[in-house]
Structure 1
Amino acid sequence: MAHQTLSRRRRWRRLLRRSRDSVTRYVGNHPLVAGMAGTLIAAAMAGLTLLTLQLGRADALDHARQTSQNLVSIISSDLERNVEIYDLSLQSMVDGARDPVVNALPPDLRRSVLFDRATTAAYLGGAYVIGPAGEVTAAQDAAINAAVRFADRDYFLVHQRSPTVGLYFSHPFHSRLRDGKLSIGLTRRVDNAKGEFAGIALLAIRIEYFQRLLDRIDTGQLGSVFIVMDDGTLLARKPFLGRDIGTSIAKSPTFQVMAERNAGTYVAVSSVDGVRRMYTFARVPGTPLIASVAPSVDEVLAPWWHRSRITGLLTLTFGAVFVMVSWALAFALRDRQRAQTALVRLAATDPLTGLSNRRVLDSRLDEEWRRARRTRQSLSALFIDIDHFKHFNDAYGHASGDEALIAVAESISATVRRSVDLVARYGGEEFAVLLPDTSAEGSRVVAEKIRRKVQAQSVLQSDGKTIPVTVSIGCATCIPADGAPASDLLGAADRQLYAAKAGGRNRVCSALQTAQSVEQDSSS
């Protein structure tokens, strides 16, 4: 078992090493991949950061929405509970006002029966029983101003006109009994024994009660929280503006959304101060009231913006550095690849003629020899030598000799055009041509073309004189036999070269046909 585990580990290590080497070779052969990969990685990092920031923004808004919902729930619960208590007091007042026994009691005793302890709450402005003509028939405190009438109040008229109203919330009004203090009235109808209208029971709630609820809510410097009636009448607001209390916001686009639903959250720009807020609202059960909390979106997102700027700056900085390093590496790898390519080319190229050198010839010959032996195809080689080159150098100088070598190399390259063929400088004034899949006749045709091409060339000296140049060429063709060395082919071509020189130069000799092919120009 231990041996198998060790073997598996070794196989994994070998696999990882091969994968790493493959990636290294690929990047080395394609240097710009490193720069593009670095750019893509940096872009991916930026994309992930942007996605994370967007998720963080959504989380911040969602957290603000949940917090606002909790605050709205607290406000709504407080209002619902107190309204329920006040309504019980109103019902008790209605029952007492309808009872003839209670009405027959002395004033102090009747007052104690009609008004329970709930009517003494801190933010209640007073508890009253009002008669059918709008006069106060009983009050929580002993003093009753008989001259004051309430027959014109909305909370009186609505009950007078309809016996089915139930609990009614009035619009804000300035109290006639408490020096004009702003209040709202909670009222219920009082009927006589015949079911006719006999007045109302009234609890006056001071506006300060609603404002006290809102003062405990922190929505930031630009946030807002308010309580409004379902017809758009504003009861309380934070930040507090006294002139707005009792006014209608029914035409405001922000309120119109609230009027259509029981609860919800939406983002809108306030028509009052132009601040973009997240409005979370809910109707208070059993009442015509709507509680809303509206923090500023900018303040909600301020911590997120702070983190986002830092994160974005760091991501941009590191991403830019990563991209620059990646492209610097890519350019360094490219320059290294170019240098290596140049070195390989220099190592494989004759610096004077630009042809392949002896090393490339030997390697290619061995390769083509094995291939020809495997496919049983013929392989031909040419050996080319410039005639009387030593005498040429002695007579005209080494500069002219170099020009002659270049002219001959260009002539050979212009004649041998197949991509599979190889032209190489063998050494000195000798050249070699390797012709795969070429018969003896075909190689002889190529050799004749080269000879004619060179013969048509002339080397131009510095004094303007031209010097004719000729070459002798030896050809050899064979189908490699098993066990035979590749050098035999070049040896055969070399022997034919010497035969061409011995035959008078400027001619082609073939290993399979020793007949001479001589062309003499007018100067020969």
Structure 2
Amino acid sequence: MGFGRRKDTASRPWRLSAKLLIVSSVVTILGFSAICTSVMLDMRHSEEELARQTLENLASGIDSDISRNVELFDLSLRAVANNMVAPELNGVSKPLRQLILFDQAATAKHFGAIQVFDSTGKLIVDASTLDPLPEDRSGEEYFQVHRDQADVGLFISRPMLHRGAYAIVLSRRITGEDGRFLGVVAGSIRFSYFHDLFGRLRLGADDIITVFRRDGTVIMRMPFDLDLIGKNLGDVPGVRRALSEPNGSYSGTGSISHSPRLYVWRDGTRPLVVLVGKPWADIYRLWRMEATRIGAIMGALAVFVLGVSLFLAREVDRRAAAEEKLEELATTDALTGLRNRRKFDASIEDEWRRAARQKRPLALLMIDADHFKTFNDTFGHQAGDEVLIGIAICISDSVHRAGDCAARYGGEEFAVLLPDSSPAQAFAVAETIRLKVEQWCGETAITTVSIGVASVLPDANSEWTAMVNAADRALYAAKADGRNRTVLAHNPKLSLVA
């Protein structure tokens, strides 16, 4: 015995040293990992901020160029619309009318000629000729919008084939002094403008530039994709956000390429909104290479520590499982599989205090096998053990709640603790147990059980032993009344639940 004690004493410092070694190693690795992670995250954040600033500058430059040309063209449309309602225009010759209307009109190789349509959609004035051919634009979207809505202002059409070239049409309503609709003045900006603008930029292979109309319609895209031109993406969350906020950024996937990108826009309040996107893979390429190198070193170290930790953890788990098994054996009755008296005493102490705090009832069933001693002496201890096992099974089948505690109280006596159970509920459980035992015995009448039931409302000044005594007295009363019955305790000295 002395040697055994020395062996146990010698093993305890080893276990303490092993745990200390594991904790120290893990803390060290975590510390270095935290430092490396912090540095790498700062580098990642710097790369992201640099990319965002670069894209913001790009978006701002494109947006400024487009907005300047749109504003310049809009000024020409405004001038024509105002001059069309001037009284001085009536009766003048065509050359003079052209001079009055289009003297200040913006001209550029990418701008289409400005045209004026009357209230029926018929072409009446064309900046490119004194004698325009007949045209009817009453079916066009831009004409119908101005005809039906007086407050549209500048309207930018969907991308369309206009006068032999793909373009967007910019238009304004001509309104008389009395508010009547007199017609529409319209001009176009050809796609060649956007191709020329984007062609001057140095973009990555997977960079994207998209120009949207206010409703989410794609006006132009780089790389150019005819299938997307004119498509409405207003329901895409990122696009919807870009059209509703003055500036910002978001991360998302494209409508064609599903690689995640950083999208940036600068001014979402203008008629045309420029959205610039760059793949996160390109943004983080250099950072990822550095992170991979550092991560490989840290990963190798972490794997080593993890392997050692898992080995030691497995040994600890084995020991903990053995201790749990011993604890279970120490609190379980070996014959019946129910809790033993030691576990029952601990449970009733805890449940009594809990019931007193929560002011909830606590019930106890005391169960005793009838004529067990006679049966045991007649048929032997093995048969008696089988009877006790059968009674335990009947009890286990009748007690299902997690907080209930069924135990072998001693010899042929059993106890069942029922938290939060009224007298009627506890009595019903007791009768279920009694009837199951009676049915299990069958016609041979091996044995039956008598049950005493007590249900009390604990308080801070009471002891659980009073409930046990009350259940015992009820059990004795059941046996005195002829056995194979359940008796509910009634004791005025206890705080019995009504």
Q: TM-score, normalised by structure 1?
A: 0.50
Partner of 1:264: 248
Partner of 2:54: 67
The CA distance in 1 between the partners of 2:234 and 2:269, in whole Å, is: 20
- Match of 2:221, SS? strand
Question: Which of 295, 313, 317 is residue 312 of structure 1 equivalent to?
Answer: 295
Whose RCO is larger (CA < 8 A, sep 6+)? 1
Match status 1:116 vs 2:103: yes
The CA distance in 1 between the partners of 2:240 and 2:82, in whole Å, is: 39
Unaligned segments of structure 2, at least 5 residues: 1-16, 306-498
Match status 1:158 vs 2:141: no
Question: Which of 163, 181, 185 is residue 201 of structure 1 equivalent to?
Answer: 185
Letter of the 1:55 partner, please give it: D
Partner of 2:32: 45
Q: How does 1:87-486 map to 2 (within 5 A)?
A: 87-116=74-103, 118-142=105-129, 144-175=131-162, 178-179=163-164, 181-287=165-271, 289-313=272-296
Unaligned segments of structure 1, at least 5 residues: 1-29, 324-524
The CA distance in 1 between the partners of 2:54 and 2:209, in whole Å, is: 13
Partner of 1:462: none
Letter of the 1:77 partner, please give it: S
The CA distance in 1 between the partners of 2:167 and 2:191, in whole Å, is: 5
Displacement, 1:86? 1.6
Structure 1 vs Structure 2: percent identity of aligned residues?
Answer: 27
Contact 2:121 2:136 in 1 (8 A): yes
Contact 2:265 2:273 in 1 (8 A): yes
Residues 134 and 32 of structure 1, relative CA distance in 2, 3 Å threshold: closer
Displacement, 1:73? 1.7
- Match of 1:126, SS? coil
- Match of 2:42, SS? helix
Runs (4+) off by over 6 Å: 30-39
Contact 1:89 1:116 in 2 (8 A): no
Residues 309 and 143 of structure 1, relative CA distance in 2, 3 Å threshold: farther
- CA-atom RMSD, angstroms? 3.1
Deviates more, 1:225-234 or 1:100-109: 100-109
The CA distance in 1 between the partners of 2:126 and 2:106, in whole Å, is: 11
Residues 306 and 116 of structure 1, relative CA distance in 2, 3 Å threshold: farther
Residues 158 and 43 of structure 1, relative CA distance in 2, 3 Å threshold: closer
Residues 125 and 314 of structure 1, relative CA distance in 2, 3 Å threshold: same
The CA distance in 1 between the partners of 2:135 and 2:55, in whole Å, is: 43
Residues 274 and 32 of structure 1, relative CA distance in 2, 3 Å threshold: closer
Partner of 2:361: none
Residues 34 and 274 of structure 1, relative CA distance in 2, 3 Å threshold: closer
- Match of 1:56, SS? helix
Deviates more, 1:206-215 or 1:182-191: 206-215
Letter of the 2:264 partner, please give it: T
Contact 2:247 2:268 in 1 (8 A): no
- Match of 2:216, SS? coil
Contact 2:98 2:130 in 1 (8 A): no
Residues 149-198 of structure 1: CA deviation (Å, up to 9, x unaligned): 111112111222233222222222221xx22x122222122234544222
Displacement, 1:226? 0.3
The CA distance in 2 between the partners of 1:237 and 1:114, in whole Å, is: 34
Residues 180-223 of structure 1: CA deviation (Å, up to 9, x unaligned): x1222221222345442221211211133234333444442222
Contact 2:244 2:269 in 1 (8 A): no
Contact 1:279 1:295 in 2 (8 A): yes
Contact 2:47 2:283 in 1 (8 A): yes
Letter of the 1:222 partner, please give it: D
Partner of 2:453: none
The CA distance in 2 between the partners of 1:171 and 1:229, in whole Å, is: 8
Partner of 2:375: none
Letter of the 2:254 partner, please give it: S
Contact 1:219 1:295 in 2 (8 A): no
Letter of the 1:58 partner, please give it: H
The CA distance in 2 between the partners of 1:281 and 1:257, in whole Å, is: 10
Match status 1:83 vs 2:66: no
Tell me which structure has the larger Cα radius of gyration. Answer: 1
Residues 315 and 195 of structure 1, relative CA distance in 2, 3 Å threshold: closer
Letter of the 2:210 partner, please give it: F
- Match of 1:304, SS? helix
The CA distance in 1 between the partners of 2:111 and 2:204, in whole Å, is: 30
Displacement, 1:53? 0.9
Displacement, 1:88? 1.5
Contact 2:116 2:186 in 1 (8 A): yes
Displacement, 1:240? 0.8
Contact 1:266 1:280 in 2 (8 A): yes
Residues 205 and 72 of structure 1, relative CA distance in 2, 3 Å threshold: same
Residues 295-324 of structure 1: CA deviation (Å, up to 9, x unaligned): 00111111111122233345667x69x99x
- Match of 1:130, SS? strand
- Match of 2:284, SS? helix
Displacement, 1:94? 1.4
Contact 2:245 2:268 in 1 (8 A): no
Residues 116 and 45 of structure 1, relative CA distance in 2, 3 Å threshold: farther
Q: TM-score, normalised by structure 2?
A: 0.52
Residues 377-436 of structure 1: CA deviation (Å, up to 9, x unaligned): xxxxxxxxxxxxxxxxxxxxxxxxxxxxxxxxxxxxxxxxxxxxxxxxxxxxxxxxxxxx
Residues 64 and 234 of structure 1, relative CA distance in 2, 3 Å threshold: same
Letter of the 1:52 partner, please give it: V
Residues 53 and 134 of structure 1, relative CA distance in 2, 3 Å threshold: same
